[in-house]
Amino acid sequence: MKKYSFLLFDADNTLLDFDANERASLIDTFRTFGIAYDEDTISLYHGINLMYWKMLSEKKISKEELLIKRFATLYEKLGINADPVATENHYRSQLGKGCQVVPGALDVCRKLRKDYKLYVITNGVATTQHSRLEGSGVAELMEGIFISDEIGYDKPDVRFFEYVQRSIPGFEKSRALVIGDSLFSDIRGGVDFGLDTCYLNVYNEKNTSEIQPTYEIQDIVELLELL
């Protein structure tokens, strides 16, 4: 095992429990707009959202388009006449209030910060991510927070990681480790930039892609033993 100094954590579903936040925010939004929903509706939205985030990582769509298209597409498939812009605005405000944390994540960060410099590297809307990271207690454990919305590039774009490198004093690629739950943004981005990576494979999904992480764990708590 290499001796690392810089740990670069993804936020959603790595430190912050985005799935729980997403579900609560969706339910509130559907109720607010008087939209009937069930588990199939939530599952449909989830699939549409993932599709558009993957398109964003492949530079096939802009973030602004993603935020509106996900609800526009949902309404189209459900045959509902509703305003996707107003829906997104309300949903976004609810997401910003969601501070659910992945079990064990805060304890892991508290222990690791004694020996490592911790940073968050996340895609997403800046106001939402800052609100959640601060409200959850994650922000106070970090040396810095890097959000694609403020940088101008999304993971896995190499320019995102170039910005991170320039912004961290004494940063060395050989001493940095990326930790994240997404093969297509966190791990691919780290690999393309020449960084070691740790794939948080919570659902133990088979990796059939060409992307190969340096390490793989299923629970954030395993990071303590790994390091």
Q: What is the SS3 assignment for 102-131?
A: CCCHHHHHHHHCCCCEEEEEECCCHHHHHH
- Among all residues, which ones are annotated catalytic? 10
What are the backbone dihedrals phi and psi of residue 100, each rounded to the nearest 5 degrees, phi first?
Answer: -65, 140
pLDDT tens, residue by residue, 158-216: 999 999 999 999 999 999 999 999 999 999 999 999 999 999 999 899 999 999 999 99
Does residue 1 register a pLDDT over 80? no
The SS3 of residue 2 is coil
**What token pair was written down for 48?**
């549409």
CATH topology assigned to domain 6-16+100-226 = Rossmann fold (3.40.50)
Q: HSE, CB side, 13 Å, CA atoms: give it for residue 92.
A: 19
CATH of the structural domain 19-97, one choice from 1.10.10.1100, 3.40.50.1820, 1.10.10.10, 1.10.150.240: 1.10.150.240
Residues of the chain with CATH 3.40.50.1000: 6-16+100-226
Residue 2's pLDDT is: 77
pLDDT in tens, 139-148: 999 999 999 9
Q: Are 23 and 42 in contact (CB under 8 A)?
A: yes
Please tell me whether residue 164 adopts helix, strand or coil conformation: helix
